[in-house]
Amino acid sequence: MVRRVHAALVGQAPDVANTARGVFTALGFAALSDIHADFVRKARGGVGEDGVKWAPLKPATLAYSRRFGPGEKTQLKQAAGLGRGHRHAPVGTGLLSAAQLRQWRLYFRRNLAWLITKYDPETAKSIAAGMAWNRIKAEGGKTKLQVYGNRPHEILRDTGVLLNSLSPGELGSDGVSYRPPQPDADGGQIFKTIANGVIVGTNVKYAAAHNWGAPKRKLPARPFLPKKCPQVWLERWLGALERALAAGLTRAVSEGARGA
């Protein structure tokens, strides 16, 4: 029986009582458990068990691109000493009151009046806008970058879709079946047992760009699927494999006895 199970594990014989499938299912579950835990650890700014620490998000990303939770903008504005009326900006980058916006426009017009005699119109407007902003900020005006650029966050956990696709699902009571997390519209989990192993991963469309990096999009690599598994992972996986193998052998012997 042991020889038959061994042959099934390496894909050279029929799987006795689904023993090999149970082992590979347990192995895939253990792998996803470690991938998920390391993802959460790195997302919170820590170092993964693979020795990797993810690059933090840029303040501009947090201020202008990252979505906000319910009431988050209000809380951040209050912490910065701003209120509901601070929602104006000449070019979409500020959090000014109506009075501050009027003052900004006054400074801008005054600067532009003499800059236009020295520069082309677009350059003059750009310089005048910058000078006006510096004056307003000196008087207490704040930009979105100042207020939102350092907000608390977890890296790569904006929507939760990617982490969900790498989260362990549910093992069946039969020791063989597996149910993955509910997929999202942007993609789901890859979990496939094969003749001599198991494949786990994600088919979320933007996963590869984050894992490997995308220089053209200025995305740094934030690997959640390591090129080489940490030794501590392999040790835990071996333990899961041994337990599944023992359970599979028990099933195989039991079914063999019933068949006899």
Give pLDDT tens digits along the chain (260 positions).
Answer: 777 777 777 777 777 778 888 999 999 999 999 999 999 999 999 999 999 999 999 999 999 999 999 999 999 999 999 999 999 988 778 899 999 999 999 999 999 999 999 999 999 999 999 999 999 999 999 999 999 999 999 999 999 999 999 999 999 988 899 999 998 888 899 999 998 899 999 999 999 999 999 999 989 999 999 888 999 999 999 999 999 988 888 877 777 655 54
Q: Which two tokens stand for residue 231?
A: 């030794």
For CA atoms 74, 75, 77, 82, give the dihedral sign. Answer: positive
- C-alpha to C-alpha distance for 225 and 220, rounded to whole angstroms: 15
- C-alpha to C-alpha distance for 142 and 138, rounded to whole angstroms: 9
Element housing 6 (H / E): helix 2-9
Q: Which two tokens stand for residue 213?
A: 């990096």
- C-alpha to C-alpha distance for 228 and 216, rounded to whole angstroms: 26
**Residue 112 contacts residue 128 (beta carbons within 8 Å):** yes
pTM value is 0.85
